[in-house]
Each structure stands twice: as structure tokens, then as C-alpha cells.
Structure 1
Amino acid sequence: MVEPRRVVIVAYDDAQILDVASPSGALDIANHHGAAPPYVVELGTVGGGPVRSSVGIGLGNARRLAEVRGALDTLLVVGGFGHEAATGNPALIAQLRRLAELSRRVAAVCTGTFLLAAAGLVHGRRVTTHWRYADALAARHPEVAVDPTPLYVRDGDLYTSGGVTSALDLTLALIEDDHGPTLARHVARELVTYLHRPADQAQISMFLAAPPPGDRLVRDLAGHIAAHLAGDLSPAALAARSGVSTRHLARLFAEHLRTTPARAVRAARTEAAAHLVRSSQLPLEAIARRVGFRSATTLRQAFLDHYGITGDTIRRMPDMPRARAATGQQTPAP
């Protein structure tokens, strides 16, 4: 019989419960869809007893980390508001160092990256963490290359992810690495997640990059655009929907989103198309129609303008390219 893949998820007081639930739930669903070898997931804490999540719900049935012996497939450290106290726990940090040596790969969700850094496990490596804490991590650990932009980062046998829900994206990436894209898509569908977001998708979407629009009309239109990509999203149609002139609409978008309505729509359609290219085998013509472009030719040009590469290249890349900067001068990710 093939040995199962042992996964130890490390938690502590005031850990984020979603950081525990998303990976463990996704791996469980992978098992139900025939993961071979299957995953065996254990929750570990430094004391072996239950810990309190940040919402007050206890995380029980935890194993004492010092009692974990033998080879591990994956060591995964969660994040949460308790990460600061956890980094100051020498017993926990020592166990992370020991368990990392037993593990085929090491991963962290959100601010769990702080614990890996405190344990000296990411020296000279590229990592990410929640965008809100990235500057603090970089300042505290200048020996670590902190990239605050991607949803998750793979640097060899090290995986780190950004904010809370990116734990699911990271876990789907682990499943795809272990068992291929078909099983990862089955798990994503079972979880009713829209798709497996690629690693280098920004943690913050176009409409959230700036502070939330203070104008309710702009907020409503942002949601309308995202939900109706194949519809009529011309400036005239958007203005008519909101009961304002196209000139006033343009002023609102410039003030609150720092772009024009047409550019906002094109960016939203291009990003959605890129996700479909990465997560499906649909031809470009079908993808173009689904997100509101007139033709595959128009979509190809949008990819070139937005990412600097073609759709075919996006489909072949192991990670998602980043969008060009607003000036159009940024080069795509290697």
C-alpha cells in the first residue's frame, strides 16, 4: 500500500479559524475524490491541548508537536491575530525548526509566514503574507524577500500565501502539484469556489486597490461590472443605469478609482478572461464572448496591453503574469 501524505497544521491561541478549515477541508474533499495517496491531516499545538481561535471557537483534538515523529509530507503554519505572541514562544519556534526537517515541503498561510521567519526557515527565500502585514515582515526580517502582491508564492519546497481566503488557493495548488489539475478542479467545484485562482493574481482586486470608493454610485457600478461582464458596459450604458451624464460618470471614476469607466471595464474583462484561460480549456473565442469581448483578436490585444504577453503564453505559464503598472511600463513576471 502507498503511504498516505501526512499533513500537520500548526495552530496557536488566536489563530484564524479559516486558515485551519480551508486547507483541511480541501484536503478532505480531495480524499473523497480519490486522491492517491490520500492525505492524513493532523492539528498540532505546542502543548497538545485545544487552542482558542480568534473568534473564540476552540480548536480541539490537537496533537502535541513534540510527539510528532517520522516523515511528514507537509508542515503548514496558520496565521491569525495571535501570530505575534506565537513568534515569541521559543518552544513553538523550536518545534517548527524540528518538524521542517522532517517535512517534504513547508507552507504558511497569511501571518503564519512570521513564524517561519522567526524559526529561520525562510532566510533568503521569496515569500508573501497578508498585504497589511507585509511591510512589518520585511522590516523585521530583511534577510527575507517579501512580495506583498501575489495570492501565494512557491519558492522550491516553500509555499506561503496572503490573506485568509488565499489558504484555499494555496491548498488547491498543493493538490494540483500532488495529483494534477483535474483533481484540483474537482475539489474547487465541490467547494463551490469560482475557480482556482493562479498564484500571481494580486491579493487586492482592481476595485479594492484604492480605499473603498466613498461614492455609493461607484460602488454599485463596480459590483455591476464584475457581475455582468458580457453585458453592455459602455460608458453610456453605465451612466444611464446610474442616472448621471457620461461626463459626470467619468469624473466619479477618476476621483474614486483613478481610471476611466472604459478602462475599468476592460481591465475587469481581461482579468476574468485570464482566469478562464488558466482554469479551463475553452478556446479564446469562447472566453472572449463569455467576458464581453467582441472577438478573440480583441481579447489577444487586451492580454498584450494588460499583461504584456499573449493568452497562449498565459495558459502555458506555471504562474499567472502580473498586470502592467498603470503607466504601462512594468514588464510581466518572469
Structure 2
Amino acid sequence: MTTIGFALPEGFQIMTLAPVSAFELANVVAKERLYEIRLLSEHGGPLRNSFGVSIDTRVLSRHKMDTLIVGGLVHPVPSSPAFLRQIRKAAASTRRIASVCTGAFILAEAGLLDERRVTTHWHHARDLQKQFPLARVEEDRIYIIDGPVWTSAGMSAGVDLALGMIEKDFGADLARDVAQHLVVHHRRAGGQSQHSKLLEMDAKTDRIQGALAFARQNLHAPLTVESLAEAAHLSPRQFSRAFRAETGQSPAKALEHLRVEAARVMVEQSRHTIDEVASQTGFADPERMRRAFLRAYGQPPQALRRNARVAMAG
């Protein structure tokens, strides 16, 4: 049985414990106790979280485990020297150590992120880099694996990290089944962006939201302003004017953003060839997709695929 310890600071952000559900459901789906969870803190006993509710914890220094996951705070603050000593000692004897969200600050304080690729919540990433210049912070990743150290972005990304661990421990089939039980449509690859172009567009009316949903469901088709306007029940001229007013961009630019976002997921997570990805996401040819990737990510699709595979193999 694999023991997962969660090292929690006083006032830990409550979503830090979201990954517990993934490990719990792995036991349920497998119909055997694959994982044991231990909630740990510096002193043990009742520990208050960000919501003001206390949970019972054990003393971190008294327990050995396979994996240690360090939780974060809504607003990172320096940890006590004793807690950092416990983290370092645990890291020396565990197979892997991880952080959820701003837990990366605690790992960095403990000196465990020096010269490693790491991530955290995008809102805190630049502060992490500034405070700990020896860490190599990548601010737009869901999670990163660098050797035995796993770091994840904010909040729900901890679930993606847990699913990645389940896949490494017991295979992709179990991870996929757990994701389905969690009602997660698919496990996001570690290299996937923390940001969604669809969310960034922030359409305010049902008509424009409906047109965006129609576009995302039909990216493989040769979408036009006319077809999007029809989905929104507007004339093409009315649609273009309303779309730009609500999203700040033209329908053509928005379509490119949606296509390149969908293509990136396929490039990083599927075995489809680059030509197949271009076809299924509505790019006229692979070269146009390559140029769109360079504009959006500064790298061609092949480089992102290599990076995703290296991260998963880490």
C-alpha cells in the first residue's frame, strides 16, 4: 500500500485537500486499498484551515511515507524553521515530494526547488521566482515533474497532479476511471496551460456564449462568420459588432485561439500525428497550425509534444 502524507501549514487553503478524493476513489475503483492518506502538520492535533474549520492531524516528523504533498496558503507567508526541517527530513526519505498551489513556496523555503523546473498558481508565480531565484518557475503549467519533485498550479490542478501520480503508480486505465468518477472529462496533461481562451473571452450574453460553444463543438468544420452569426441568431454584421464588443477581438482571431487551444491538448495528450491534429481542429494545413502555435506559445507543436512527454516521463 502506498502512503500519501499531506503536510499542512496552519490556515492551509482548503482546496489543498481536493487531491485526497482522487486517491480515495482509486481505492474504490480498484476495490482494494492502494493508498493510505495521512494528514500531517508541524505539531499535530487540530489544525485550522482557510475556511475556519479544524481537522485532526498527526505530527509530520513521526511518520514515514512514500509520497509527501505539501499544501499551500491563500497568501504565502514564511514557514517556521521547525516545519521546514520536518519537510526536508521527510523529503530525504520519500520516493517523491509534491506541492499543491502555493505549497511550492514552502518547498522552496526548504531548499527543495533549487535548479528544478516548478510551477504554482499563476497569480503567485512571479513572486515565487523573485523570492527564490534558483527555482526555474514556469508560470503557465498545470503541473510539472522534475525528478522526484512534483509541483502543481492552483486549486483544482492538485487533482490533475493526483491523477498523474495514480497513472504512474497503477496505470492509465485506473487514472482514467478515477477521472470519470470525479466527473473530470479528461486528465489535463502537466504541460497544459493554466488559462482557457474560452474563459478569457468572457462573453456576457447568451447569444455570444452560444456561438462560442457552437464554435468549440465544431472546430473541425470550416467555420465562418455567417455560420457563427446563424448560431447566435443574428445577422453577420450584428454578430461581428456584438462579438467584438463583448470579447474585445474579432471572430476570426477568437476562432484561431480556440483552435490552437484544442490543438495543444491533442498534441500533448494524444497519439495523433501533427497532420491529424491540424485536420481535426480545423486548420487548413499543418503549416498554418505551426504558425498559430508560434504566435500563441512561441514554440511549434512538435516542441510542445516533446516537452509534455519529457514531463510525463520525469
Q: Same fold (TM over 0.5)?
A: yes
Which has the larger helix fraction?
2
1:73 aligned residue (66, 71, 78): 66
**Structure 1 contact 15–83 (Cα < 8 Å) conserved:** no
Q: Flag the 1:56–1:275 CA change in 2: closer, same or farther, 3 A.
A: same
**CA displacement 1:165-203 (0-9 Å, x = unmatched):** 111111111111111111110111111111111111110
Unmatched runs of 5 consecutive residues or more in structure 2: 308-314
**CA displacement 1:205-252 (0-9 Å, x = unmatched):** 113447x45777655644554467678953223324445443454455
Q: Which residue of 2 aligns with 1:197?
A: 188
Unmatched runs of 5 consecutive residues or more in structure 1: 309-321
Q: Which residue of 2 aligns with 1:246?
A: 236
Q: Flag the 1:183–1:280 CA change in 2: closer, same or farther, 3 A.
A: farther
TM-score normalised according to structure 1 size: 0.77
1:29 aligned residue (9, 25, 29): 25
Inter-partner Cα distance in structure 2 for 1:200 and 1:329: 14
Q: Which residue of 2 aligns with 1:319?
A: none
**Structure 2 contact 243–249 (Cα < 8 Å) conserved:** yes
Q: Flag the 1:157–1:206 CA change in 2: closer, same or farther, 3 A.
A: same
1:64 aligned residue (48, 51, 59): 59
Q: Flag the 1:58–1:38 CA change in 2: closer, same or farther, 3 A.
A: same
Taking the TM superposition and a 5 Å limit, the aligned residue runs for 1:1-334 are 4-20=1-17, 22-34=18-30, 38-60=34-56, 62-68=57-63, 70=64, 72-81=65-74, 83-84=76-77, 87-209=78-200, 212=202, 218=208, 221-223=211-213, 225-226=215-216, 234-242=224-232, 244-254=234-244, 257=247, 259-269=249-259, 271-272=261-262, 275=265, 305-306=288-289, 323-326=293-296, 330-331=299-300, 332-333=303-304, 334=307
Inter-partner Cα distance in structure 1 for 2:267 and 2:119: 24
TM-score normalised according to structure 2 size: 0.81
Inter-partner Cα distance in structure 2 for 1:23 and 1:329: 32
Q: Flag the 1:171–1:145 CA change in 2: closer, same or farther, 3 A.
A: same
Q: CA deviation at 1:140?
A: 0.6
Size of the alignment, in residue pairs? 303
User: Which amino acid letter does the alignment assign opposite residue 31 of structure 1?
Assistant: N
User: Which amino acid letter does the alignment assign opposite residue 79 of structure 1?
Assistant: G
